[in-house]
Amino acid sequence: MKIGQFVKAHIREIFSHCDTGDHNEIDFLLDPAYSKRTFGVNFPFCAAVEDIEKTESKRYWTDVYLVRGTRVRVTSQWFESSRPLFFQYLKSKNIEPKSKLENYNPTLTSSDSGNKVFTARSNSRYRGNAIGNAQNLFVRNILSRLGNESFSEKDWENTKDYFSRRCAYCNADADLLIEHAIPINKEKLGEHRLGNLVPSCKPCNSKKRGLDFREFLGDDLEAIQKIEAYMDSRNYVPLEDSEQMRMILDMAHKEVASLAARYIRIVNELFPRSSDPDSDDDQCDTTSI
């Protein structure tokens, strides 16, 4: 395993060590001099997200961790020469090095459509859509957290009032569900923000599925305009034209596929299903969202 991957595989445990116990290890890890001494790296092990954004530094991985109330990213500037020091550090914190992972190298091939196909062994514990689900969940997770907006039950009540307590799509006077007018996926780029939440009756909710509200409503311009006006009133500007965001999510989607494949492979190797007579599907396509 490359040194960068090796470090990455232990970040969670290092931060969970920082999060527990009566010490200020995180302050040390934020300190460049300590990191130089401890790991032989030229950047602090991690830095606060605000500081990285100020300098626009590219020397940190993009994953954000919350450690003792500080949002941090970990430096990506690792060289082979740091490996023994990093090992030593793990030992000193009672973290078991994941050296076993070195033997695993998942097989990933691209299908024509660009979706990842994972070749699983027939006695796999994980089958079906495990990877596609992980990818979709991750993309949802990113989209759901963008903007960091919070809203309350009261806000939702006001939203229902805005639509006269009727379905925003068919105007039915029925039980209302929370519906994302623009779906939260990497194609449509909807977000979990108040301005993207509209009340919907159950039938509309289940018919609409992955459609954008405009696709779903077709030529019902009145309903479309009402939802657009509602979005404006809640300052919601959809991301749909953001090529950059699309690219980022596409990257995340692909990266999760290889990450999920690696861990599924490990689990399948370590915990094979004993026997399963009808487990003859050794390929599983992932769905794209």
Would you say 7 and 38 are in contact if contact means Cβ atoms under 8 Å apart?
Answer: no
Task: Give least dist CB 120 to Zn ion, A.
Answer: 40
Q: What is the dihedral angle through the alpha carbons of 21, 26, 31, 35, rounded to the nearest 10 degrees?
A: 80
Residue carrying the six token digits 């994972």: 118
Query: Buried b vs exposed e over 150-169: b needs ≥16 C-beta within 10 Å?
Result: eeeeeeeeebbebbeebbbb
Task: Give least dist CB 70 to Zn ion, A.
Answer: 45
Structure tokens at 151: 């809203």
Contacting residues toward Zn ion, per CB under 5 A:
167, 169-170, 172, 201, 204
Question: Among residues 95 and 170, whose Cβ is nearest to Zn ion?
Answer: 170
The burial class, CB within 10 Å (0-12 / 13-18 / 19+), for 274 is exposed
Question: Among residues 86 and 169, whose Cβ is nearest to Zn ion?
Answer: 169
Question: Among residues 38 and 196, whose Cβ is nearest to Zn ion?
Answer: 196
Task: Give least dist CB 174 to Zn ion, A.
Answer: 7
Task: Give least dist CB 80 to Zn ion, A.
Answer: 60
Question: Among residues 204 and 231, whose Cβ is nearest to Zn ion?
Answer: 204
Task: Give least dist CB 162 to Zn ion, A.
Answer: 15
Residue 62 DSSP SS3: coil
Question: Among residues 18 and 204, whose Cβ is nearest to Zn ion?
Answer: 204
Would you say 181 and 231 are in contact if contact means Cβ atoms under 8 Å apart?
Answer: yes
Structure tokens at 248: 């980022």
